[in-house]
């Protein structure tokens, strides 16, 4: 649950009134002045959301432009409009520079659904000749319309507001394919490592930028733009989950050819060639995102458990070497991508997930998940003993077991025990009453109140139960 958000209005009706002043009549200058005064009063007592800050700047420029009694110079109007549009675009984009490497303003604005020509206008007003007054007026009207549909309507009517349509994420597979190709070239000839060093770094930056794009996509999908980003750790975890989905595809962490899935005999590890190929990328992601080991290992466990449940429903031919390779990558992640204080907690969480998903006496065909569970528990005698009990096969089922007279006698004995519980409870209550010391004098109560005691017929009962 998110933390409370401080807003300048006392009720949503005040924000609705402000919206009507601004958008009901485009030519009502008095209403726009009232809106400026209201926003200025709010700004004096609390910081405004960025959208309202931008609306205040745009309204001030529009009112200044429309005032016939106080004509302003074209240059001052152009500066007012330009400053308002620059602040609008920068304030939306800058909080979403989430990755370790900077991204272009145009790419972030595209994910937010901001018109591209406003970004170009912002660039021209900042670095080139100041745009013309007509162009700036059109940009101001376009900005006000965008804020109406992307801030006021979702805030005033969150239930009926149309969800934000985020730009589709560009595929990650080409980036991973290029990284794999370069790493194979370097593995064949170590002398070219320096030659391809910058290209490999560029690919690592590309992966990080993709994670940043996915994080922004999570913001837009949740309807939380730059004025209310929310819990960034949740959005980042969602982006990392999308990354892990791509890493778990065949041909990435798991070699495409089954002949290359040759596992070491002395350890529960992935193929050595795959580790040499992908460990630099995984280590780089882990350095920038500490939660990455947890996300990757939990994604692999979820995949293995899904395969196990599918085996119990229908008998199909499953690529067991793929599951085995994924299980070994989960173990490698826990052992190699270590953090200072969460290594033991991560291993414990995975063990709990596997035990819960597999259950006692589950399908023996879920070899990969079972093997991963045994590898995680190896070296801990207590956990190994518990696992041996939980994983013990159910050799005798109730449906096949023959009943005899001893079972009936046991049931009769249990029934007698259950029926005797109320009597024993009453005896305990009577015993307590006999040894109960004398009660202290009742405290003085206010008018209309009285203290109930057992003599008045009152007795305790669970909430919602009315004893007769």
Place 403 in a pLDDT band, splitting at 50, 70 and 90: low
Share of the chain above pLDDT 70, in %: 73
Q: What is the pLDDT of residues 127-182, one digit of tens each?
A: 888 888 889 989 999 999 988 888 888 888 876 655 555 557 788 889 999 999 99
- Bridge partners, 254 (sequence order): 250
pLDDT, average across residues 416-437: 54
Least confident of 148-157, 161-170, 297-306, 427-436: 427-436
Instruction: Report residue 317 as tokens.
Output: 């031919």
Distance CA 294, CA 252 (A): 19
Domain boundaries, the chain: 12-156, 167-243, 248-393
What are the pLDDT digits (tens) for 39-81? 999 988 888 888 899 999 999 998 888 876 665 678 888 899 8
User: What average pLDDT does the structure give for the chain?
Assistant: 78
pTM: 0.61
pLDDT of residue 71: 59
Look at residue 37 in the predicted model and tell me its pLDDT: 92
Q: Give 219-253 pLDDT, tens digit per residue.
A: 665 554 444 444 567 778 888 888 999 999 988 99
Mean local confidence (pLDDT), 100-120: 79
What is the rounded CA–CA span in Å between residue 358 and residue 347? 16
CA-CA-CA-CA torsion sign (201, 206, 212, 215) = negative
pLDDT at 228: 45
Is-contact 390 355, C-beta < 8 A? yes
pLDDT at res. 435: 47
């Amino acid at each position: 649950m998110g933390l409370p958000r401080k807003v300048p209005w006392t009720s949503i009706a005040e924000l609705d009134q402000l919206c009507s002043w601004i958008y009901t009549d485009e030519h009502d200058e008095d209403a726009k002045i009232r809106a400026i005064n209201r926003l200025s009063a709010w700004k004096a007592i609390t910081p405004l959301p960025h959208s309202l800050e931008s609306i205040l700047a745009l309204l001030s420029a529009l009112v200044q432009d429309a005032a016939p009694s106080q004509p302003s110079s074209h240059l001052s109007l152009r500066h007012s409009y330009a400053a308002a549009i620059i602040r609008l675009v920068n304030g939306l984009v800058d909080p979403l520079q989430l990755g370790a490497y900077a991204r272009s303003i145009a790419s972030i604005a595209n994910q937010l659904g901001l018109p591209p020509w406003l970004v170009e206008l912002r660039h021209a007003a900042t670095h080139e000749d100041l745009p013309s007054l007509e162009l700036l007026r059109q940009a101001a009207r376009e900005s006000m319309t965008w804020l109406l549909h992307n801030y006021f309507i979702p805030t005033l009517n969150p239930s009926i507001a149309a969800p934000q349509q985020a730009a589709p994420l560009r595929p990650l597979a080409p980036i991973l394919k290029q990284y794999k190709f370069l790493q194979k070239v370097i593995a064949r000839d170590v002398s070219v490592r320096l030659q391809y060093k910058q290209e490999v770094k560029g690919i690592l930056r590309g992966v990080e930028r993709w994670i940043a794009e996915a994080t922004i996509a999570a913001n837009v999908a949740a309807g939380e733009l730059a004025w209310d980003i929310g819990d960034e750790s949740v959005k980042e975890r969602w982006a990392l989950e999308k990354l892990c989905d791509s890493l778990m595809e065949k041909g990435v962490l798991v070699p495409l050819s089954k002949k290359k899935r040759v596992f070491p005999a002395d350890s529960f590890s992935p193929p050595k060639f795959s580790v040499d190929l992908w460990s630099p990328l995984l280590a780089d992601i882990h350095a920038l995102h500490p939660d990455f080991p947890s996300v990757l290992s939990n994604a692999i466990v979820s995949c293995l458990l899904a395969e196990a449940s599918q085996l119990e429903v229908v008998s199909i031919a499953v690529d067991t070497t793929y599951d085995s390779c994924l299980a070994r990558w989960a173990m490698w992640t826990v052992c190699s991508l270590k953090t200072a204080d969460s290594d033991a907690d991560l291993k414990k969480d995975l063990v709990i997930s596997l035990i819960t998903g597999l259950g006692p006496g589950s399908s023996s065909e879920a070899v990969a998940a079972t093997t991963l569970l045994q590898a995680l528990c190896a070296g801990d005698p207590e956990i190994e003993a518990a696992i041996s009990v939980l994983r013990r096969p159910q050799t005798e089922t109730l449906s096949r077991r023959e009943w005899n007279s001893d079972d009936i006698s046991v049931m009769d004995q249990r029934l007698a025990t259950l029926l005797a519980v109320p009597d024993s409870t009453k005896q305990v209550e009577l015993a307590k009453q006999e040894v109960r010391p004398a009660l202290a004098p009742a405290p003085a109560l206010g008018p209309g109140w009285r203290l109930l005691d057992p003599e008045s017929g009152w007795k305790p009962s669970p909430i919602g139960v009315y004893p007769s």
